[in-house]
Amino acid sequence: MIAENLTNVKNNIKEACLKAGRDVSEVTLVAVSKMKPIEDILEAYDAGIRFFGENYVQELAEKMEELPDDIKWHMIGHLQRNKVKYIVGRVDMIHSVDSRRLALEISERSLKLGKVTDILAQVNMAGEESKFGLRPDEATDFAIAVSEMKGIRLRGLMTSAPFVEDAEKNRNIFRSMKDLSVDIMKKNIDNVLMDTLSMGMTADYKVAIEEGATLVRVGTAVFGERNYGGLR
Ligand SMILES: *Cc1c(COP(=O)(O)O)cnc(C)c1O
């Protein structure tokens, strides 16, 4: 079932790339495995997936212990500063950095381990009350501020677009994200790469790819519906 889902998702990614004139190698699928059991993750792993996204620190830490070392874990959920120590040095990328204080904590913890952690700046492009993230007009100053922090490297931007039935409704949001990332890239800020754009989920990853996503975070289309009943 999961292998079949993955075949579908990968085909959709290829189609979206073709439509947009992009090479399929530009887009990485991050399989979002939050609230899914180890067996499901192993099924995706056996089908060749190596990038997995998780939202909750404790769940992520537990899964990292049990699963193969060559998995690249992406922290995509809201992160509190006091939990940074549990994941730094062990995750491939943190997508959800939305304040200088959080960035500084990640930097300092990384330096203690002699590492540099790749991060993305989370942007609340649609201005939704319920969502975390910087305002779009704060993103450039944020990039400048974190460029001074030696233990992190800002690789780009991340957004969670509104939930919509019709993915086309999010196209402008994705386009604005791409524009914002190009604007910041053009400033040539030291230590800021802007080669990564994390956007697009099950409902809208095809449109996100057409608009320039390099990482898509897909959960439901890979693993099936989540059961929120047991949410910690
Ligand atoms: C849960 C989650 C996803 C995956 O959502 P699906 O709709 O299941 O694909 C992607 N990004 C973030 C930040 C999430 O929390």
Q: How confident is the model at residue 112, as a pLDDT?
A: 98
Q: Predicted confidence band at 232 (pLDDT cuts at 50, 70, 90)?
A: very low
Find the mean pLDDT for residues 178-197: 97
Is the CB of residue 109 below 6 angstroms from any atom belonging to ligand 1?
no
Crossing angle, helix 100-112 and helix 139-146, to 10 degrees? 20
Residue type, 31: A
Distance CA 90, CA 106 (A): 12
Phi, psi at 53, each rounded to 5°:
-110, 135
What count of Cα atoms within 13 Å lies in the side-chain half-sphere of residue 228? 1
Distance 19 CA to ligand 1 centre (A): 24
Structure confidence by residue, pLDDT tens digits, 130-161:
999 999 999 999 999 999 999 999 999 999 99
CA 10 to chain centre: 17
Is the CB of residue 202 below 6 angstroms from any atom belonging to ligand 1?
yes
How far apart, in Å, are the Cα atoms of 153 and each of 25, 64, 107, 146, 174? 22, 22, 9, 8, 23
Residue type, 50: R
Those residues whose C-beta lies under 8 Å from the C-beta of residue 130, and which sit 6 or more positions away, are none
Q: How confident is the model at residue 65, as a pLDDT?
A: 97
How far apart, in Å, are the Cα atoms of 168 and each of 80, 161, 205, 211? 33, 11, 11, 11
Query: How does the average pLDDT of the chain come out, rounded?
Result: 97
Distance 187 CA to ligand 1 centre (A): 31
Is the CB of residue 160 below 6 angstroms from any atom belonging to ligand 1?
yes
CA 77 to chain centre: 9
Res 230 pLDDT > 70: no
Share of the chain above pLDDT 90, in %: 97
Find the mean pLDDT for residues 19-32: 98
Is the CB of residue 95 below 6 angstroms from any atom belonging to ligand 1?
no
Is the CB of residue 152 below 6 angstroms from any atom belonging to ligand 1?
no
Atom of ligand 1 nearest to the CA of 218: 9
CATH T-level topology, domain 2-223: TIM Barrel (3.20.20)
92 closest CA partner among 54, 56, 44, 59:
54
Indicate the range of 26-40, 58-72, 96-110, 217-231 predicted with least confidence. Answer: 217-231
CA angle in degrees (0–180, nearest 5) for 69-75-77 = 150
CB atoms within 10 A of CB 94: 26
Find the mean pLDDT for residues 173-181: 98
Q: How confident is the model at residue 228, as a pLDDT?
A: 74
Ligand 1 mutation target, pool 35, 76, 170, most atoms within 8 A of CB: 76
Helices (H), the chain: 2-20, 38-46, 57-66, 84-87, 100-112, 139-146, 171-186, 205-210, 220-223
204 within 8 A of 170, measured Cβ to Cβ? yes
Is the CB of residue 219 below 6 angstroms from any atom belonging to ligand 1?
yes
Atom of ligand 1 nearest to the CA of 202: 9
How far apart, in Å, are the Cα atoms of 180 and each of 37, 103, 120? 36, 20, 13
Structure confidence by residue, pLDDT tens digits, 51-103:
999 999 999 999 999 999 999 999 999 999 999 999 999 999 999 999 999 99
What does the DSSP assignment read for 130-148? Answer: T--SB-GGGHHHHHHHHTT
Length of the chain: 232
Is the CB of residue 143 below 6 angstroms from any atom belonging to ligand 1?
no
Nearest protein Cα to ligand 1, atom 12:
76
